[in-house]
Amino acid sequence: MKIGELAAHYELELEPLYDSNEAKALFSVAAEQVLALSSAKLIMQKDIDISFINMQKLLSILNDLQIGKPIQHILEEAHFYGAVFKVNEQVLIPRPETEELVDWIISDNSSRFLVNTNYKISILDIGTGSGCIPITLKKHLLKAEVSTLDVSANAIAVAKENAERINVKIKFIEADILTFKSEEKFDVIVSNPPYIRDLEKSDMHNNVLVYEPHLALFVRDENPLIFYKAIADFARTNLKPNGQLYFEINEYLSKEMIEMLVSKGFIDIKLRKDMQGKDRMVRAGI
């Protein structure tokens, strides 16, 4: 079978789950990895025959896609801010919205370096998951000292593997933020904690619900700000003067989020929308 024919076969077979653009993108991601071709080459080489072994691999990926497995789990990798991260069912698949949050922190803090080139900024990320936030921050803010915390030992194991692969050194802490205490002070505290409520489950794709860790997705006890409040309290005591707190947030809870931050005495609160125009990020100072 030729590349173009298999692409059409993917589209047809995936029709119950994915629209034609999504199916095209899924084929392209799968084929790029299996055939080790760039997406541009893939488009230009539609008439090239696929070898038997690669065909088997691509059909097996198609089978997994048809049962709703996310492509990142099938390939065990996800792209985030220009790097490839290992992922599995123990960690949240890094999202593009989170790239925007990380980009905000990098752009804010790169300029701090220009002002004082010897200053070592300290960063704490809460809720490591795949390690996409702390690893990316360390990679792009070289002089930063980055620590990251997660309640899940399994998530920390994945993140450690990613830190090794991407060749950055960060500190890992296994702890629950609802009870975590530390004497250390940070310039930046960042978190993308679980923020989905039961009532939002019906909006979610089945492949997210079935395959991604509920511990990473859902709020506890139907208390939508449970993690944000605990992190804000921690930040009140553990941010350095002029330190900043960054959150990724539930798009429907931006008003409550800002009220909560104001009530805890945060200042210069800034809300940002994501690329889809949804309230998605907040920055606050002390």
Q: Give residues in contact with ligand GLN (CB under 6 A).
A: 92, 94, 98, 127-130, 132-133, 192-194, 216
CA angle centred on 182, ends 283 and 241, rounded to 5°: 45
CA angle centred on 17, ends 13 and 22, rounded to 5°: 85
Q: Rounded to the nearest whole angstrom, what is the least distance from the CB of residue 212 to ligand GLN in the complex?
A: 9
Q: Tokens 């896609």 identify what position? A: 65
User: For 93, which DSSP code?
Assistant: P
Closest-by-Cβ residue to ligand GLN is 129
CB nearer ligand GLN, residue 34 or residue 94: 94
- CB 10 within 8 Å of CB 23: yes
CB nearer ligand GLN, residue 128 or residue 147: 128
Q: Rounded to the nearest whole angstrom, what is the least distance from the CB of residue 92 to ligand GLN in the complex?
A: 4
SS3 call for 173: strand
Q: Rounded to the nearest whole angstrom, what is the least distance from the CB of residue 249 to ligand GLN in the complex?
A: 12
- CB 283 within 8 Å of CB 269: yes
Q: Rounded to the nearest whole angstrom, what is the least distance from the CB of residue 101 to ligand GLN in the complex?
A: 8
CB nearer ligand GLN, residue 31 or residue 70: 70
Provide the 10 A C-beta neighbour count for residue 139.
Answer: 19
CB nearer ligand GLN, residue 50 or residue 93: 93
Phi, psi of 2 (to 5 degrees): -90, 160
CB nearer ligand GLN, residue 244 or residue 250: 250
Q: Rounded to the nearest whole angstrom, what is the least distance from the CB of residue 216 to ligand GLN in the complex?
A: 3
CB nearer ligand GLN, residue 27 or residue 186: 186
Q: Rounded to the nearest whole angstrom, what is the least distance from the CB of residue 256 to ligand GLN in the complex?
A: 18
* Cα distance between residue 105 and residue 207, in whole Å: 30
Conformational region of residue 240, where left means phi above 0, alpha means psi within -120 to 50, and beta covers everything else: beta
